[in-house]
Amino acid sequence: MALKILGYDVGGTKISTVVGNDNGNILSNVRMPTVKHLGKKRLIEEMITMGDAALKKAGVDKPDMIGIIFAGPVDNKKGVVIASPNIFGLSNFNIVEPIQKYYGAKTYLENDATAAAIAERLFGSGKNVDNFVYMTLSTGIGGGIFINGKLYKGAHGMAGELGHSVIMVNGPTCGCGRRGCLEALAGGKAIARRVIENLNAVRDSNFFSRIRPTEITAEKVFEGKKKGDMFSQLILEETIYYLAVGIVNIINILDPELVIIGGGISKAGKDLFDPLNDAIREEFKSMYRPFKIVPGLENGSDLAAISVPLYKESE
Are residues 131 and 275 both part of a single domain? yes
In this prediction, the residues of the chain whose per-residue pLDDT falls under 50 are: none
Are residues 104 and 133 both part of a single domain? no
Are residues 164 and 281 both part of a single domain? yes
Are residues 111 and 149 both part of a single domain? no
Per-residue confidence (pLDDT) for residue 314, from 0 to 100: 80
Are residues 160 and 246 both part of a single domain? yes
Strand pairing class (65-70; 106-111): parallel
Strand ranges across the sheet with 74-75 = 74-75, 80-81, 93-94
Task: Give the CATH number of the domain where residue 198 resides.
Answer: 3.30.420.40
Per-residue confidence (pLDDT) for residue 291, from 0 to 100: 85
Per-residue confidence (pLDDT) for residue 194, from 0 to 100: 94
CA nearest neighbour of 114 among 98, 126, 97, 128 = 126
Gap between the Cα atoms of 178 and 225, Å rounded: 30
Are residues 99 and 154 both part of a single domain? no
Are residues 151 and 284 both part of a single domain? yes
Are residues 221 and 309 both part of a single domain? no
Longest Cα–Cα distance in the chain = 62
Gap between the Cα atoms of 189 and 191, Å rounded: 6
The strand pairing partners of 26, in sequence order, are: 20
Are residues 140 and 278 both part of a single domain? yes
pTM of the model: 0.91
Per-residue confidence (pLDDT) for residue 39, from 0 to 100: 85
Are residues 30 and 137 both part of a single domain? no
Range of the domain at 198: 127-295
Per-residue confidence (pLDDT) for residue 136, from 0 to 100: 94
Are residues 67 and 212 both part of a single domain? no
Gap between the Cα atoms of 64 and 299, Å rounded: 22
Total domain count for the chain?
2
- Please write down the HEC assignment for all residues of the chain: CCCEEEEEEECCCEEEEEEEECCCCEEEEEEEECCCCCCHHHHHHHHHHHHHHHHHHHCCCCCCEEEEEECCCEECCCCEECCCCCCCCCCCEECHHHHHHHHCCEEEEEEHHHHHHHHHHHHCCCCCCCCEEEEEECCCEEEEEEECCEEECCCCCCCCCHHHCECCCCCCECCCCCECEHHHHHCHHHHHHHHHHCHHHHHHCCCHHHCCHHHCCHHHHHHHHHCCCHHHHHHHHHHHHHHHHHHHHHHHHHCCCEEEEECHHHHHCHHHHHHHHHHHHHHCHHHCCCCCEEECCCCHHHHHHHHHHHHHHHC
Are residues 69 and 154 both part of a single domain? no
Per-residue confidence (pLDDT) for residue 202, from 0 to 100: 87
